[in-house]
Amino acid sequence: MITLLQRVRQASVTVSGEVVGEIGPGLLMLVCAEPADTPALADKLLAKVLKLRVLADDAGKMNRSLTDTGGGLLIVSQFTLAADCSGGNRPSFTNAAPPDLGRALYEHLVAQARLQHAGPVACGVFAADMQVSLVNDGPVTIPLTFR
């Protein structure tokens, strides 16, 4: 799974003019499933995200996790993270999981996040045309790839 984490002061996702998910301080998680990914791999990724010490402590150092702070987690599917731009000028997305697998893994990830994280968990809509708004805090942006 490919993930891009952004530490945010706030973030929201809108579909057809309606806000479908929003959080205050926490992490925006853009996620893309790949063909070989499994629910167990999604669980491993979620465990890492919840414990990753990228949030500021009282001294302003990146020393606290989402679990420590109870901050928000906004999970948005983004198949374009699997873009292959090595040939020509039009990206190929064949490295992304097929839609049925991508949806199943995304829904599994969201469900597990809601079970495991005490703070707010919000999400986008799989395969929808979404507009994502955020205020990146830091800025802190961290790519994660689990295979």
* Enzyme catalytic residues: 78-80
CA-based end-to-end distance of the chain: 6
Separation CA 69–CA 144 (nearest Å)? 21
Separation CA 116–CA 112 (nearest Å)? 6
Is residue 36 within 8 A of residue 2, CB to CB? The reply is no
Structure tokens at 126: 């799989």
